[in-house]
Amino acid sequence: MPASPFDMEAGGEQLLKFRSLKSTIIGLFIPIIILFVLGTGMISFILASKQIRQIAFTGLKDTIAQTKSLLNDKLTAFVVELIAVENSSEWTAVMNRAGDPNAVMEPADYIFMNKSFDSYFDHYSMIDSILFYFNDGKASWFKRNSFGSPVQVSLDKYSRQLDDHRLSVIKWLNLHDDSELSAPQVVSAYVMFGKDREHTNGIFMFNLKSRFFTDILSNAKVSKNGYLCLISDDGFMSVKRVERKYEIDETELQKKLQEAAQTSGQISMKNAHGSNMLVIYDTLDINKWKMVAVLPEDELLDEVNAIKYVTIAVMFGIILVAVVLSNLIAHIITKPLTKLTRKVGLVEDGNLDIELKVANSNEIGVLSSSIQDLVYRIKDLLKEVKEEQELKRLSELAVLQSQIRPHFLYNTLFSIKQLCEMGNNREAGEMVTALSSFFRISISKGNERIPVSQEIEHIQNYLYIQQMRYGEDFSYEIEMDPDIMSCPIVKLTLQPLVENAIYHGMKQKRSKGFIRIWGYSSKQEVLIHVEDNGIGMPEEKLAAINESLRNGASNEGNLGFGIRNVHERLRLNYGPCYGLAYVHRSGGGIIVTVNIPLQSAEIE
């Protein structure tokens, strides 16, 4: 159905939209501006963000390092004091008397322990309490604030927490409640005495106030929602309360830090609320605890994001100006071409009955005149091509029909004559009937395509005539699916294939020949096979034939004229996916397959 004026105009508008000179100018100019702006903006942003990021990370690492150094210095004093206990002659004398079953603890021993504890409290304000316990309490002293007294404690709970069997290693316990000593929220450092972890007989322990640690951790500036914490194998200490969306799973963080191979570094985690949290950590030298800074990643890069938004805004503004200017320039240049472009779009849609009238006498006018001449020439060429195609189709049919060799007609008539002389008038009549039907279907009123049923009738007549001539030299069988009998097929498709099977396949065969023709439909295609039990052909020749069929080669050394003609006519009518294919038959012989689309019975 011809396109309506509205459809043609819409087609012209669509062509103008996607292929206009205006879009070409914009498409060339704007990318250059965008690339320049994006390149400059991205380089500036990358350099600035890299510098800010470096400054932010350096500041955080300095904060962690300073806090770590402060804690190391403060806690080292207690390590020194614990080591000094083992090397002190006074404390050794007390432990020796406590360990001697014949010795009795004297008041002077308790006076010494109390004065020693007082000196610790005087020097270190962060001490919450001190414990000395030896030989099942024979010598023991616990002092908290200004009160001191002997106590009874269980050494098992402390020995179980040692990292190895050595007792000389100083053990640190993270923030905890020591209910046995009534010491809430303390950090403990202690050393145990004895042969090994299973055979301990004494302990010396400092309990440090939690406030000492919380003051140090809270005074460090991390970020608005960031904080410092101390993490060890046995605990987690943090002081700052943050919004729930910035809270982090302490157990998961503790596990990740325990698995970390480096003593310092950074990791990223996503908390339960979906916030990306940055964790920067270092390790205390004194007890191998992790000093950890936890903060939201977006807060660390607030300044980077600000620069990013400013850069994006500037780039967007420049690009917007570039787009406006490009449209203005393109409109000025392309306005005279708009009308001509619409007309050309109609020509592309197939409307050749248009008049291109442009008043301008400049280059656009010359172009319009040239296009008009081109349209006229296209119309003439289309007419010539149509006539040539029709002549080509008629000539192809004539060539194929000419392949019915004259000696076939002569031999058939001679066979009829012999039948008549022998008095076999019935057989002669049947042979004449078959010959007349053979030529009637070959002509088919000039139609190039006929139903499969007529093509099968045509080949039955041909086979009947050949069998009458050759007698019992060969037999044949035809099996066709009734569903494909009305499907149109190019006429005279099967006759050259059957002729090849008789003359080239079975004529050289000494035993009786057999030809089988069968067809069926599969996946919207019709497949018709012509099979013979002849002498076949070498593998190389079969491969060469199939290669010639696929590539459309015209090498007659591989393809006979009739086979090539059938194959090309099938491809011409149905497309390059269809045609002929050759395969070897199991037991000897060849199978030729005709492949055509499954179509409704629409015969010209």
> Cα angle at 45 between 44 and 47, to 5 degrees?
65
**CB–CB of 509/516 below 8 Å?**
no
Q: What is the mean pLDDT of residues 331-358?
A: 69
pLDDT of residue 551: 80
Architecture in CATH of 88-212 = 2-Layer Sandwich (3.30)
Q: What is the mean pLDDT of residues 201-219?
A: 90
> Over the stretch 88-126, which tens digit does the pLDDT of each residue have?
889 988 988 888 888 888 888 889 999 999 999 999 999
**How far, in Å, CA of 227 to CA of 550, rounded?**
75
- Quick one: 403-597 is in which CATH superfamily? Histidine kinase-like ATPase, C-terminal domain (3.30.565.10)
8-state DSSP, 150: -
For residue 90, what are its two tokens?
Answer: 């006074």
Looking at per-residue confidence, does 530 or 347 come out higher?
530
> Over the stretch 459-470, which tens digit does the pLDDT of each residue have?
888 888 888 877
**How far, in Å, CA of 291 to CA of 229, rounded?**
6
**How far, in Å, CA of 342 to CA of 378, rounded?**
18
Write 105-109 long-range contacts (CB < 8 A, 24+): 105/138, 105/139, 109/139
For residue 358, what are its two tokens?
Answer: 């442009």
Taking phi over 0 as left and psi of -120 to 50 as alpha, with beta for the rest, 446 belongs to left
For residue 17, what are its two tokens?
Answer: 């939209």
pLDDT of residue 205: 93
Residue 11's pLDDT band, with cuts at 50, 70 and 90, is very low
Comma-separated ranges of CATH 3.30.450.20 domains in the chain = 88-212
8-state DSSP, 444: G
Residue 224's pLDDT band, with cuts at 50, 70 and 90, is confident
Residue 17 has pLDDT above 50, yes or no: no
Residue 206 has pLDDT above 90, yes or no: yes
8-state DSSP, 188: E
Comma-separated ranges of CATH 3.30.565.10 domains in the chain = 403-597
Residue 484 has pLDDT above 80, yes or no: yes
| Composition of the chain by helix, strand, coil, percent to 5 | 55, 20, 25
**How far, in Å, CA of 26 to CA of 8, rounded?**
26
pLDDT of residue 147: 86
412-443 burial: b if 16+ Cβ within 10 Å, else e = beebbeebeeeeeeeebebbbebbebbeebbe
pLDDT of residue 10: 47
> Over the stretch 163-198, which tens digit does the pLDDT of each residue have?
766 666 788 999 999 888 888 999 999 998 888 778
Q: Sheet containing 183-196: which strands, arranged edge to edge?
A: 147-149, 139-144, 127-134, 199-209, 183-196, 171-178
Residue 402's pLDDT band, with cuts at 50, 70 and 90, is low
Element (H, E) at 561: helix 561-574
Indicate the CATH number for domain 222-300. 3.30.450
SS3 476: strand
Strand 513-522 vs strand 474-480: parallel, antiparallel, or unpaired?
A: parallel
**How far, in Å, CA of 317 to CA of 311, rounded?**
10
Residue 74 has pLDDT above 80, yes or no: yes
Q: What is the mean pLDDT of residues 271-293?
A: 88
Looking at per-residue confidence, does 400 or 75 come out higher?
75
Residue 128 has pLDDT above 90, yes or no: yes
Cα→Cα distances 511→216, 465, 477, 508, Å: 109, 20, 17, 9
Looking at per-residue confidence, does 129 or 420 come out higher?
129
**Which of 150, 154, 146 minimizes the C-alpha distance to 128?**
146
**CB–CB of 208/189 below 8 Å?**
yes
pLDDT of residue 115: 92
Residue 528 has pLDDT above 90, yes or no: yes
**Which of 603, 459, 467, 462 minimizes the C-alpha distance to 528?**
459
For residue 189, what are its two tokens?
Answer: 């450092």
Quick one: CA dihedral 493, 496, 498, 500, positive or negative?
Answer: negative
User: In the beta sheet, which residues pair with residue 143?
Assistant: 130, 148
Residue 387 has pLDDT above 80, yes or no: no
